[in-house]
Amino acid sequence: MRGSFKSDMGRSQIAAVFGAIVFFGALLSSEAAQQISEDRELAELDLTAWNCAKRPGGSARSPETIERNTLKNRWATDLAGLAVKSFDTAGFLKHVADFDAETKGKRRRDLSPDEKRRLEILEAPIVSLTGYLILAYAGPPETCNCSNVDFHDWHLEIFEEPPDHPPQPGDPTPIICEITPRTQNAIFHDGIRIQGLAAYFRRPDLTYESTGHKAHKVRLTGYLLWDDEHNERKDVGATIRSISRNGYHNPWRATAWEIHPVIKIERLD
C-alpha cells in the first residue's frame, strides 16, 4: 500500500515535471516566433533611440564576427561623381565566381593570407546590381544590430527573371541584398517602398503573401560583402532543392556574396 502510494506520487511528480517542460517549451517557442519584427514597410528610424548606433561591431564578441558586422554597418556615402561598377545577376555571380570556387565552405578564420588580401579588395567598392525584387522581409535580430527586434535589416531577394510565384523547389536561387538601420532613412526619404516593388512579402510567421503586383525591376547600389556565415552547402546553391519546416527555401542564396548595406534603390521599369 505504502509502496503503491510512493509509486503513484512518483508518477504524478514526473507528469507534473513533464507538463511544466512542455508548457515552458511552448512558451519559449512562442516567444522565439515573435522575435521577428512586425514591420511591413520602410519607415523613418530615430537612431538616437538605438543603443547600437555607435557600435559598428554590434554585440559580437569574436574577432571574425566583429569584422563582418563592421562591414555590414558601413554608413552611406555620397554617390555623386562616384564611378560605380554595374552588374546584372549573371555578371555579379561571375565577378565573385573565382573567389567562391576557392573558398567553398570556408569562413573568414579559414582564409589564407592571399585569400584574405583578395577579400579586402573585393569588399572595398560600392557596386550596383540590377534584377527583379521577388521577395522582401524583415530580418531577425542579429548581433550586427545588437540583437534588437525593432532595429533590423531588410532582406531583399533579387532574381534574374520575375516568376509568378514565391520561391519554390526547382527555381533558381536569388542574390541577397540588405538594407540596414543606418541606410534605411535615406532610402525611405527617396520614396522607396518595398511593398510597392516586391512581388511577395514574408510575414513574421514565415508565410508568404502577394503584394498584388508583379516584381519590379530595380537597381540596388551598395557595398559588396562576403557573408561567410552563410557559405555552406545548405545555404548556397544554384537551384532551390526543398522548402524546410520553417518555410525557408534551401538553399536560399546563389552565393554568400551580398550587397550589404544597400544605400540606394532605383525602380527601372
Same domain for 192 and 91: yes
Same domain for 96 and 27: no
Same domain for 93 and 12: no
Confidence class for position 22, pLDDT limits 50, 70, 90: very low
Higher confidence at residue 248 or residue 214? 214
Model confidence at 27: pLDDT above 90: no
Same domain for 47 and 116: yes
The mean pLDDT value for 2-27 works out to 44
Same domain for 189 and 98: yes
So what's the pLDDT on residue 255?
98
So what's the pLDDT on residue 248?
87
Question: 555552406: which residue's cell?
Answer: 232
Same domain for 60 and 91: yes
Mean pLDDT (the chain, rounded): 90
Same domain for 238 and 116: yes
For residue range 187-212, list pLDDT tens digits in order: 999 999 999 999 999 999 999 999 99
Same domain for 114 and 11: no
Count the domains in the chain: 2
Same domain for 192 and 113: yes
CB 224 within 8 A of CB 72: no
Question: What's the rounded Cα separation, in Å, for the pair 167 and 134?
Answer: 8
Question: What's the rounded Cα separation, in Å, for the pair 20 and 14?
Answer: 10
Same domain for 149 and 72: yes
**Cis ω before 140 (30° cut-off from 0):** no
CB 252 within 8 A of CB 211: no
Model confidence at 25: pLDDT above 80: no
**Which range of residues forms the domain containing residue 162?**
37-267
For residue range 110-163, list pLDDT tens digits in order: 999 999 999 999 999 999 999 999 999 999 999 999 999 999 999 999 999 999
Same domain for 113 and 19: no
> Is residue 52 exposed (0-12), middle (13-18) or buried (19+ Cβ within 10 Å)?
buried
Same domain for 197 and 67: yes
For residue range 63-111, list pLDDT tens digits in order: 999 999 999 999 999 999 999 999 999 999 999 999 999 999 999 999 9
